[in-house]
């Protein structure tokens, strides 16, 4: 899908001018796009993952730990596929306004360039969006 094809689809959240700027500059700043309720839920889920990481002593397929990570002072660098580790992350991808924002911007050809966990989350979210765009 080309930018022109994407722009031909009526936007759900963004203005046409915001979308055009995104395709010309390849980024878009949306202040306060994530509501306070979602931020609170995502922070709580992140806190739960940090607590779970206390039981992990070294990095593995899920947990990427800092070298000085300890149970009494967890240092979690990254969690692989957060949508698989806590339901709130999947709820955010599938139920928040972000899916509509992505639908306003996404160019399918770019997906292979997105890192694996982001690509997988986007593909899952796009399944829902694809049906909405056909409607």
pTM above 0.85, yes or no: no
Quick: pLDDT tens for 30-69. Answer: 888 889 999 999 999 999 999 999 999 999 999 999 999 9
Helix 87-95 with 116-134: angle, nearest 10 deg: 40
5 φψ region: left (φ > 0), alpha (ψ -120 to 50), beta (else): alpha
Q: What is the pLDDT of residue 100?
A: 82
Residue with the bigger pLDDT between 115 and 39: it is 39
pLDDT of residue 51: 97
What radius of gyration, in Å, describes the C-alpha atoms of the chain? Answer: 17
């Amino acid at each position: 899908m080309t930018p022109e094809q994407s722009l031909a689809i009526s936007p759900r959240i963004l203005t046409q001018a915001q979308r055009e700027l995104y395709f010309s500059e390849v980024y878009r700043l949306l202040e306060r796009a994530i509501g306070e309720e979602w931020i609170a839920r995502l922070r709580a889920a992140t806190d739960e993952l940090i607590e779970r990481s206390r039981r992990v002593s070294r990095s593995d397929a899920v947990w990427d730990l800092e070298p000085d990570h300890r149970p009494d002072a967890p240092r979690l660098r990254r969690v692989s596929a957060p949508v698989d580790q806590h339901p709130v992350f999947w709820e955010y991808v599938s139920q928040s306004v972000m899916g509509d924002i992505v639908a306003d911007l996404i160019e399918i050809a770019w997906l292979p360039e997105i890192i694996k966990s982001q690509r997988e989350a986007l593909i899952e979210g796009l399944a829902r969006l694809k049906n909405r765009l056909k409607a």
